[in-house]
Structure 1
């Protein structure tokens, strides 16, 4: 009788500990989904603004690193504190909140400065340096003063090559303007049938070990 009670106690204890035991496996599954998912490729503009431009869902790696888990006696949960995670997982539409249109940085150089200062302050800073800013329906452009450091994507035209144009400065595209952008669904916060099957096997092994 004592052996049966001991086995029952050990089994109950093992069941209570399953969420904590299985959570690291679940976390790795989600990380694998994010890293190796067969996702829609990034657009050319996205590639130009990201550190790992050719790889969907990855830029600085902060979102991947932020994935973590919490476990109690009944379940475990995988999640992240990054506010944009639901958008990149589920997809959706992004619209401008205050401005008429979104201003999307043309490249990494513009993106880095925009992340620090914001669009308005970046443009105001350029104007203080002598830049002339032009708002077009689909872009924000800047004409740099003579001798200014390159910033944005230079517009290569025959006009820029003329001596007269060079004396006025060079034109750069700074931002692409759009009323909205569509973020494609790239689901990674899940466990596939194969992953769930492997997790079930791990749980069974854990319970069998507790009975022995």
Structure 2
């Protein structure tokens, strides 16, 4: 079952982009452009797991809207605003916001913040992938060996997640490039080789893990795994 988010954003372009990106990230989203819709029917947020509130809204700002929501609901909410002054951030947190992000924001960052909130609310469980003696936490871009944590880059994490889904098979280089970068390009291919070299180094403590190049095709991935 998809987790449900209510988005209150009056900017039509930003609202559409956020709605599409959230839905692409497997959330169910209701997008509202006028806060009066919630004020007239506060029960409409029942059943939702999170509210994203733009601060600069017509008629009533996001801060005041959050106060009204809190009278009847304990739904977690995140403020989305162009304001960056610390006083606004402090005010938002004092009003009970679970997080606060300024515009323009990277959609990936917004998704991570949302998932962190929902994880704290026990709506989602952190996904941990066992790769041999290692534990891979995709949401945190972390690879853990014993008591040592390796902080991966976003692309390293995306690549490792793709490889973990293709264990014990040959995965085509073109497929990797188009999945991670959206195109099959020579220079991106060189970057892919660099990332694969890094991953091999990260996994040096478990000789059962192999990331072998298959000339003219791609890579053969093999490791003992156990998703938990």
Structure richer in helix, relative to its length:
1
Higher relative contact order (CA 8 A, sep 6+): 1
Structure richer in strand, relative to its length:
2
Larger radius of gyration: 1
